[in-house]
């Protein structure tokens, strides 16, 4: 059975074209990009051999088989393992909001569908919603209807979204909002279902939703006693 992950990279913005070429070579066409800036102190930067530079953050869903090839290409062509170049890491995906969305996110990759991955002893899940720009409040209304607390919204730009019409029957705008919601594990399914029903592909939000396991938390004491 295949494991499914969220692949995140943080690199210099100047490496963007090389990274996108690496993704395209390995059939990773659905990628979200956002811009960031490093915050490390000069002492830490000196220690790690890093520069205070503008960064690019990318996120894409990847199977374990595809990751083996991508990792090798990153090391060979991007030299990602050289200090100061960037970082790439995987976070396990525990569930995806619907079979069609699953096929859309992993189209062109080798994988086997398996039962929902439930990690033991995880009290919380991180629900990630990718929606058209301007519809984050609609997503949050749907989430709050099932007991979710607050969420965090960031702006991102999607690439490789042309295939959305083939899989989802809709065209998806490039400009995106990503909504991050931390919820108790037992509430995850109802929150995701509410988002899919009220802000999903049939709505103007055209939301894609999936979740990641949270293995530890800080600052969620109020939620724990509710």
The per-residue pLDDT for range 127-166, each reduced to its tens digit, is 989 898 899 999 999 999 999 987 878 887 766 555 555 5
- Higher-pLDDT residue of 116, 196: 196
- Which range has highest mean pLDDT (14-23, 35-44, 75-84)? 14-23
59 phi and psi angles, rounded to 5 deg: -140, 135
φ/ψ bin of 27: left (φ > 0), alpha (ψ from -120 to 50), beta (otherwise): left
pLDDT at 125 over 80: yes
- Taking phi first (over 0 means left), then psi (-120 to 50 degrees means alpha), and beta for anything else, what does residue 71 get? alpha
Neighbours of 180 (CB within 10 A): 14
Task: For residue 74, give Cα distances in angstroms to 87, 106, 138, 166.
Answer: 10, 19, 38, 29
| Residue written as token pair 């919603």 | 129
CA–CA gap between residue 194 and residue 31 (Å, rounded): 25
Residue that wins the pLDDT comparison between 200 and 167: 200
pTM beyond 0.95, yes or no: no
Among 118, 100, 115, 113, smallest CA distance to 202 is for 100
| CA terminus-to-terminus distance, the chain | 38
**Structure tokens given for 139:** 């997503």
């Amino acid at each position: 059975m295949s494991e499914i992950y969220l692949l995140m990279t943080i690199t210099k913005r100047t490496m963007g074209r090389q990274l996108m070429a690496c993704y395209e070579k390995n059939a990773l066409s659905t990628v979200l990009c956002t811009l960031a800036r490093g915050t490390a102190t000069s002492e830490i930067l000196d220690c790690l051999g890093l520069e205070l530079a503008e960064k690019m953050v990318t996120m894409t869903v990847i199977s374990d088989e595809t990751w083996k090839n991508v990792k090798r290409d990153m090391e060979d062509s991007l030299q990602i393992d050289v200090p100061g170049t960037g970082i790439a890491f995987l976070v396990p995906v525990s569930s995806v909001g619907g079979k069609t969305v699953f096929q859309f996110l992993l189209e062109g990759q080798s994988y086997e569908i398996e039962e929902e991955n439930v990690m033991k002893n995880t009290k919380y899940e991180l629900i990630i919603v990718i929606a058209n720009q301007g519809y984050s409040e609609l997503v949050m209304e749907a989430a709050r209807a099932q007991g979710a607390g607050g969420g965090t919204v960031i702006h991102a730009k999607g690439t490789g979204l042309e295939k959305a019409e083939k899989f989802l029957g809709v065209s998806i705008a490039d400009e995106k909002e990503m909504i991050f919601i931390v919820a108790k594990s037992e509430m995850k399914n109802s929150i995701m279902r509410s988002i899919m029903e009220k802000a999903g592909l049939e709505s103007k939000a055209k939301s894609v939703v999936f979740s990641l396991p949270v293995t530890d938390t800080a600052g969620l004491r109020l939620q724990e006693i509710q």
